[in-house]
Amino acid sequence: MSETKKPRALETKPRALETMGAHEDARLSSPSNSRNKGPLLEALSTVLPISANVLEIASGTGEHAVHMCTAMPGLSWQPSDIAEDALASIEAWRLAAELENIASPLNLDVTIDAWWDRISISPSVMLCSNMIHISPWEAGLGVIKGAGALLPAEGLLIFYGPFCKAGVHTAPSNEEFDRSLKSRDPDWGVRDIEHISEEAQLSGLSLENEIPMPVNNQVLIYRKGAR
Ligand X SMILES: C[S@@+](CC[C@H](N)C(=O)[O-])C[C@H]1O[C@@H](n2cnc3c(N)ncnc32)[C@H](O)[C@@H]1O
In the list 130, 174, 217, 218, the residue contacting ligand X (rule: CB under 6 A) is 130
State the DSSP H helix or E strand holding residue 197, giving kind and residue range, or none if neither. helix 193-202
Which residue, judged by CB position, is nearest to ligand X in the bound state?
Answer: 60
Residue placing its CB nearer to ligand X in the complex, 64 or 223: 64
Give the whole-angstrom CA distance, residue 68 versus residue 50.
12
Dump the DSSP string for 99-132: -TTBPPPEE--TTSTTGGGG-----SEEEEES-T
Between CA 76 and CA 100 the distance in angstroms is 8
Quote the least distance from Cβ 11 to ligand X, whole Å. 22
Binding residue for ligand X (CB under 6 A) from 30, 101, 124, 218? 30
134 binds ligand X (CB under 6 A): yes
Residue 33 engages ligand X in binding (rule: CB under 6 A): yes
Asked if 119 touches ligand X (CB under 6 A), the answer is no
**Among the residue ranges 19-27, 98-106, 127-135, 194-202, the one whose residues contact ligand X (CB under 6 A):** 127-135
The stretch among 42-50, 52-60, 118-126, 163-171 that binds ligand X (CB under 6 A) is: 52-60
Distance of alpha carbon 90 from alpha carbon 108, whole angstroms: 13
Interface size with ligand X, residues (CB under 6 A): 21
**Cβ of residue 132: shortest distance to ligand X, in angstroms?**
9
- The greatest distance separating any two alpha carbons of the chain, rounded to the nearest whole angstrom, comes to 51
- Per CB under 6 A, the list member of 135, 174, 217, 218 interacting with ligand X is 135
Whole-angstrom distance, CA of residue 151 vs CA of residue 44? 17
Question: Considering only residues 165-224, where is the footprint of ligand X by CB under 6 A?
Answer: none
CA distances from 223 to 47, 74, 121, 156, 174 (A): 11, 20, 19, 5, 26
Binding positions for ligand X, 53-112, rule CB under 6 A: 57-60, 64, 81-83, 86, 108-111
CA-based torsion, 108, 189, 18, 12: positive or negative: negative
Say which DSSP state 185 is in: -
CB-nearer residue toward ligand X: 2 or 120: 120
Q: Does 144 bind ligand X (CB under 6 A)?
A: no
Helix (H) or strand (E) holding 150: helix 137-150
- Provide the binding-site residues for ligand X, judged by CB under 6 A: 30, 33, 57-60, 64, 81-83, 86, 108-111, 129-131, 134-135, 139
